[in-house]
Structure 1
């Protein structure tokens, strides 16, 4: 709610159609501008006018898809996509969003296939992605009612932070032609009514998942099609609007407000400890919340990350220290940590969010939701273009990192070397190993003495041959049977024992030092 920085809302409304088989829908433009007013209302959603892009009666699905992709690629914070108009189905039952020149007989050739919208979401570095579809058959975007793909949006579970809200699984509803002169489509009208009326006994800030039960009830009472929803990661908690019906809270609070404030104050008063293995190993193996502080030179320490250990604070801190040590442009000696042990079952509560909420807008906790805590993002995210202030872009992996400082010469199979790299590197190394990928007879002769990650990748790529490529990205390393494949965040490629440098494609064209 009231997003800042690189946040973009794309509102698309199509009310007029060239194909007589697709009737014009005047209510669409009313809905389009109602949504714009709702988003930019400073007392509700709080978006700036400059952040909201309104696309009215677009012609040409290719041009619309290109515009959508370009805006999505620029979005690094919150991306909201809203569509209102005709939703039509292809012969295979896939959803298409109709543009003004869409032909009902050839929707896949003349309309915007929803899969292209999904592709834009996949390619966007936005941390939170919200999709609201007000059209017929919009539920297919999350239910996968057709084709061999059991869910068009199921694969989007690998997209970080997605929430989608749809108007109808089958036919959506619009008012009578006469009423459409001043009315919205039924779904958007109900959504607007719920947000503007607020929800009694609900939180002060409403997420779309908070709004959904009330919206579903209103539509059911009005005898209208019921909506649908799906969420991945923490997008379900994204604060969409202020709750105008909030009266300070009259319902039961699991954690009273005064206890929240006391918790944050006590945590802030805890002493700082240098982020070192000896200090971490002195900690009890106990759950709790911790803060990472960074200070370089004479700079006052600032909180860069708020985390929790459901079972063990030291386990999490060790992983963070290892990650920092394996990066360029950063020194673990500049970091301290503070912590607070908790007796609560942290698998059911999120106390770190209480701290983040109080820090919001102060420029602190810059690493939260910015790549620091992420694990392997999966194959579908390898081609993601990162923004320049993403953790991996600021602090790319160190390919000069020493796997060993000394040692005797030894012979390993290529698979054994790959596994050792995967186990010992302070960053992820993902490689293809199914279907007889490795030849058990392929040996790698590791010379005696020190061995860096770069040297190991050269040795491994030489053994694997020219049909394999090792791609060192800013945050992790891949090895697949592929040739001359480029990745936006690559810093180095290895093929047949040769290393080739690469310049990553990051937002704002910031250049960072990638080390030796």
Structure 2
């Protein structure tokens, strides 16, 4: 996938309204779709292209986040939703959020027309919508009566393919905590098994007949689809059941094998700023290695489509500010390339090769390459093998301030912290109170922890600084709890916690 692609995965499994039952299967389906998309052997999306919005509380914030991401996407835009779908009195499909009320879905839910608006406003060239909820098929089939033409038109957008789970009530298995919804589970199974006789790359229109027959054979609701323009032929996944054919290969296998041999033979270099600074600004593919005694492990394989040096510099900065890893144990190797990397996708070739050898790099698809995905993902619970969980941010990182004895505003202090910390420090969008509060502190460096304590004390109890395993937040909020937080700062109070996921990962109590 290109760097201008985005997949927005929305899953709602918990509801405040007792009339809407919790759906644990929705959470499982959300994570299953994430694994499917980021599998290098199948769909090949990178972690930083996939935005998981799990259990969003309010429909308004959800709509704003969908619009924001859609407006920034110029390549491929994929929107997936799993959760309750309800129909309003006017006949409109409403996607639910955590605080949606069944009695007022049009006021408290996300009407599909708002998703349609985001699709219309997005400059993306390819737009895919997958809805796993009750009544989702009605946006294609329409409802009987006066509202039918309006509902049919809700999917009539140029360059959009829509796949829906059910015209009426969708099916959710009643057994097993790890079970997903029947529709998403069947979709994942079809893609992972491949389709014999189909092309080497599967479009959703190739997948649809097999998906429909599979669901029908089990007595589940049948899906529905609608596509416009040539988006129907967009390659959604590699066909693992493809046995080869007589068609033309853009990259002959002997060229691929030679590329892999040459890459494997490249020398390793210490992951240091000096060594990275010696590299030319050139695109290519690179590997991160870790040495442990006599053993060596490939941790990460990726490409720099503009500059290998720039990507390595970003990785070095990120790793330097993490716990339980020593950058001195890491090295890198690389190979400069002259090809159009978006066409050749050398990183996928490397990942497929390593996976076939049972050597899948542990940092790929673990969140290592992720960028700050925004406020909506702050409450997302990470898995026990996520990079941020295994290597939390280092709150002992040292920072220095310009002329601290002269005093600075809270806004200036926060800005200097953001510039020096090797992890994200996100603050409330420009708030005048940050300019009005002033601080003074001793000369010399401070740890990030000491700086946050000073800043929290100055801002008072109305503000809260929350240190999560992967980033730090500063918002005008009180007693807000995040599932992946390791420390909170509010006024004079500092609270240290050990997230359950960190305990499950076997991390020591000290960060």
User: Is 1:294–1:304's contact at 8 Å kept on the other side of the alignment?
Assistant: yes
Q: Structure 2 vs 1, CA of residues 226 and 276 (structure 1 numbering), >3 Å: closer, same or farther?
A: closer
Task: Pick the aligned partner of 2:480 from 470, 475, 485.
Answer: 485
User: Is 1:96–1:107's contact at 8 Å kept on the other side of the alignment?
Assistant: no
Does residue 309 of structure 2 align to residue 340 of structure 1? no
Q: CA deviation at 1:498?
A: 3.3
Secondary structure in structure 1 of the residue aligned to 2:388 = helix
| Structure 2 Cα separation of the partners of residues 504 and 390 of structure 1 | 13
Normalising by structure 2, what TM-score?
A: 0.63
Task: Pick the aligned partner of 1:67 from 24, 41, 65.
Answer: 24
| Structure 1 Cα separation of the partners of residues 102 and 494 of structure 2 | 47
Query: What is the correspondence of 1:77-96 to structure 2 with a 5 Å cutoff?
Result: 78=35, 89-95=87-93
Q: Structure 2 vs 1, CA of residues 322 and 515 (structure 1 numbering), >3 Å: closer, same or farther?
A: farther
User: Is 2:133–2:165's contact at 8 Å kept on the other side of the alignment?
Assistant: yes
Q: Structure 2 vs 1, CA of residues 209 and 373 (structure 1 numbering), >3 Å: closer, same or farther?
A: farther
Query: What is the correspondence of 1:301-450 to structure 2 with a 5 Å cutoff?
Result: 301-360=296-355, 362-404=358-400, 409-434=405-430, 436-450=431-445
Aligned to 1:165: 163
How many residues align structurally?
382
| Structure 1 Cα separation of the partners of residues 289 and 380 of structure 2 | 28
Q: Structure 2 vs 1, CA of residues 357 and 413 (structure 1 numbering), >3 Å: closer, same or farther?
A: same
Aligned to 1:262: 258
Q: Structure 2 vs 1, CA of residues 381 and 238 (structure 1 numbering), >3 Å: closer, same or farther?
A: farther
| Structure 2 Cα separation of the partners of residues 432 and 107 of structure 1 | 32
Q: Structure 2 vs 1, CA of residues 225 and 509 (structure 1 numbering), >3 Å: closer, same or farther?
A: closer
Secondary structure in structure 2 of the residue aligned to 1:242 = coil
Aligned to 1:252: 248
User: Is 1:469–1:483's contact at 8 Å kept on the other side of the alignment?
Assistant: yes
| Structure 1 Cα separation of the partners of residues 250 and 330 of structure 2 | 34
Q: Could you list the runs of 5+ residues in structure 1 that have no partner in the other structure? A: 1-59, 98-105, 117-128, 147-151, 154-162, 173-184, 217-223, 230-234
Secondary structure in structure 1 of the residue aligned to 2:281 = coil
Q: CA deviation at 1:250?
A: 2.8
| Structure 1 Cα separation of the partners of residues 396 and 85 of structure 2 | 53
| Structure 2 Cα separation of the partners of residues 164 and 285 of structure 1 | 41
Secondary structure in structure 2 of the residue aligned to 1:422 = helix
| Structure 2 Cα separation of the partners of residues 408 and 133 of structure 1 | 55
Residues 118-161 of structure 1: CA distance to partner in whole angstroms, max 9, x if unpaired? xxxxxxxxxxx9956497543759x9x99xxxxx99xxxxxxxx
User: Is 2:462–2:476's contact at 8 Å kept on the other side of the alignment?
Assistant: yes
Query: What is the correspondence of 1:184-199 to structure 2 with a 5 Å cutoff?
Result: 198-199=196-197
Q: Could you list the runs of 5+ residues in structure 2 that have no partner in the other structure? A: 1-17, 38-79, 96-100, 112-127, 149-153, 156-160, 170-182, 213-222, 229-233
Q: CA deviation at 1:511?
A: 3.9
Aligned to 1:13: none
User: Is 1:292–1:304's contact at 8 Å kept on the other side of the alignment?
Assistant: yes
| Structure 2 Cα separation of the partners of residues 332 and 406 of structure 1 | 28
Aligned to 1:282: 278
User: Is 1:410–1:447's contact at 8 Å kept on the other side of the alignment?
Assistant: no
| Structure 1 Cα separation of the partners of residues 235 and 457 of structure 2 | 46
User: Is 2:321–2:393's contact at 8 Å kept on the other side of the alignment?
Assistant: yes
Q: Structure 2 vs 1, CA of residues 346 and 333 (structure 1 numbering), >3 Å: closer, same or farther?
A: same
Higher mean C-alpha displacement, 409-418 vs 132-141 = 132-141
Secondary structure in structure 1 of the residue aligned to 2:433 = coil
Q: Structure 2 vs 1, CA of residues 87 and 292 (structure 1 numbering), >3 Å: closer, same or farther?
A: closer
Residues 41-75 of structure 1: CA distance to partner in whole angstroms, max 9, x if unpaired? xxxxxxxxxxxxxxxxxxx9745x33325645886
| Structure 1 Cα separation of the partners of residues 340 and 441 of structure 2 | 47
User: Is 1:329–1:395's contact at 8 Å kept on the other side of the alignment?
Assistant: yes
Aligned to 2:500: 505
Higher mean C-alpha displacement, 337-346 vs 468-477 = 337-346
| Structure 1 Cα separation of the partners of residues 387 and 328 of structure 2 | 18
Q: CA deviation at 1:199?
A: 4.8
| Structure 2 Cα separation of the partners of residues 249 and 427 of structure 1 | 48
| Structure 2 Cα separation of the partners of residues 197 and 509 of structure 1 | 38
| Structure 1 Cα separation of the partners of residues 81 and 410 of structure 2 | 51
| Structure 1 Cα separation of the partners of residues 330 and 459 of structure 2 | 39
Q: What is the aligned-residue RMSD (CA, Å)? A: 4.7
Aligned to 1:49: none
